[in-house]
Structure 1
Amino acid sequence: MLDVQDLCVQFAGLKAVQDLSFSVKPGQIITLMGPNGAGKSTAFNAIGGMIRPTSGKVHFDGRDITGERPAKVAALGIRRTFQNNGILREMTVIENVLTGLELSTQSTFWGAVTGMPGSSRAERDAVRRARSALEQMGVPEIAERIAGDLSFGQQRLVEIARATVARARMIMLDEPAVGLSPGERVHLGSVLRELAANGMAVLMVEHVQDLVMAVSDEILVLNYGKKIAHCAPSEIRHNRDVLEVYLGRA
């Protein structure tokens, strides 16, 4: 589904990402790991259209999306979350999720939110889809709550619901487990595995190793912009380069 070929990103004299190649298939969860400054977020942003690669190619479902604007990438079926939490805190949960349908429905936002008798069929369908997305996250009961009043773990689930509600084919998650309790991480892992089981591709940047080891099909480790390992979780624990560079021991 996603094919990254020889991706390079350079800022002045700094090579932030060097010759990065990998692919993500439908139903796979691939995680990017590495120490701070390894190039994970830069690679993520280059794939998602936030920055333009210096060289290399990014293909999605056979289509060249290298350097496409984020809105175009999203419209093609790749949605993402952000490390700094993109929740609209003053709005309700259902309103937050509905914003994820902006590019894929003919409804008006307020018509969808109010669900008044005069609202269109598309608007009523938008609300149904938003509630279904929350149910898939396991939190349908929080739909009418103010998003800023939720726990950090619940806010993360709302972000993922917003990313998946438009029937995304792939989601990109930027450190989704940061700040979550152990129980919330377990629930998040269950959600991600269910999404993958339904055919969604998942590309994730994450530091929290218990989640990474529990859900990842493959782990790709970067250091100074270069790929130093790409293997299954069971193999990563015994990779000498990873132990020396990322875990700090031989």
Structure 2
Amino acid sequence: MLEVRNLTVKFAGLTAVDDLSFTVNQGEVFTLMGPNGAGKTTAFNAIGGFVRPTAGHVALRGQSMAGMSPAQVAALGIRRTFQNNGILREMSVLENVLTGLELSTRSSFWGCALGAPGSARAERDATRRAREMLGQMDIAGLADRPAGDLSFGQQRLVEIARAMVAGAELIMLDEPAVGLSPGERLHLGQVLRELTAKGMTVLLVEHVQDLVMAVSDQILVLNYGKKIAQCPPSEVRNNKDVLEVYLGHA
């Protein structure tokens, strides 16, 4: 699904991502872990078109993404969330999720304004899909509330629903468990597993260990921009290089 080869990102001489290579297979949850400053989000930004790599190769299903803008990357079938909540606070929860369908809804401004039948059907279908996703995230009852009135954890769930609703092939989640209660994290893990069972692929950056261990198929650990380990969750706790990074000893 996703191939990253020799990805390097430098800022004013500082190497944030250093010759990083990995492959993500369809239908799996692939997690990037590491201490603060390890280069996880920079790698995400380079894959998503928000940062231009200094060197390296990124491809989706064999198609090079070199030089693509974030909008072009999204059009390929990749969606993402961000560490800092990107919720549209003045809009309703439902309207926030509907923005995630902008690229995949076959309607236009004038078609909606003039009441064209095809546009009306497209809008009804988009609304149905958005409400179904809110139900899947267990927040359907919040659909008509202003997003800015929600708790931080609820806003995170709305942002994730917005990223997922378009049926993207690959979804990139940057620390989605921030601000979630243990129950919300458990539910998020269940949703991710349901989506991957249907063929969606998830690239995850996360610090919350219980979520990572519950949903990941592969975990790649970064430190100072370099890959120090890649293994299944069952092996990561006993990996001496990972223990050295997190605990200071093997």
Q: Which runs of 5+ in 2 are unaligned?
A: none
Report how far residue 151 of structure 1 moved: 2.4
Who is 1:204 aligned against?
Answer: 204
Who is 1:241 aligned against?
Answer: 241
Q: Distance in 1 between matches of 2:248 and 2:81?
A: 29
* Equivalent residues of 1:34, 1:222 under 8 A apart: yes
Q: Distance in 2 between matches of 1:111 and 1:131?
A: 22
Report how far residue 13 of structure 1 moved: 1.5
Number of aligned positions between the proteins:
248
Q: Distance in 2 between matches of 1:230 and 1:157?
A: 28
Q: Distance in 1 between matches of 2:77 and 2:202?
A: 12
Q: 1:191 to 1:13 in 2, by over 3 A?
A: same
1:110-149 paired onto structure 2 within 5 Å: 120-149=120-149
Report how far residue 163 of structure 1 moved: 0.7
* Equivalent residues of 1:108, 1:123 under 8 A apart: no
Report how far residue 103 of structure 1 moved: 1.5
Who is 1:17 aligned against?
Answer: 17
Letter of the 1:144 counterpart:
D
Q: Give % identity.
A: 73
Q: Which digits, 9 at most, give the CA deviation of each residue in 1:169-225, with x for residues without a partner? A: 110001001121111111111111111111110001111111111111111000011
Letter of the 2:178 counterpart:
V
2:248 counterpart SS class = coil
Report how far residue 247 of structure 1 moved: 3.3
Q: Distance in 2 between matches of 1:33 and 1:226?
A: 11
Deviates more, 1:9-18 or 1:74-83: 9-18
Q: Distance in 1 between matches of 2:247 and 2:206?
A: 14
Q: Which runs of 5+ in 1 are unaligned?
A: none
1:169-248 paired onto structure 2 within 5 Å: 169-248=169-248
Root-mean-square deviation (CA, aligned residues, Å) is: 1.9
* Equivalent residues of 1:51, 1:67 under 8 A apart: no
Q: Distance in 1 between matches of 2:120 and 2:67?
A: 36
Q: Distance in 2 between matches of 1:38 and 1:183?
A: 28
Who is 1:52 aligned against?
Answer: 52
Who is 1:75 aligned against?
Answer: 75
Report how far residue 110 of structure 1 moved: 10
Who is 1:36 aligned against?
Answer: 36
TM (norm. structure 1) is 0.93
Q: 1:111 to 1:139 in 2, by over 3 A?
A: farther
TM (norm. structure 2) is 0.93
Report how far residue 108 of structure 1 moved: 4.5
Moved over 6 A (4+): 109-112
Q: 1:109 to 1:23 in 2, by over 3 A?
A: farther
Q: Distance in 1 between matches of 2:110 and 2:179?
A: 32
* Equivalent residues of 1:5, 1:57 under 8 A apart: yes
Q: Does residue 153 of structure 1 match 2:145?
A: no
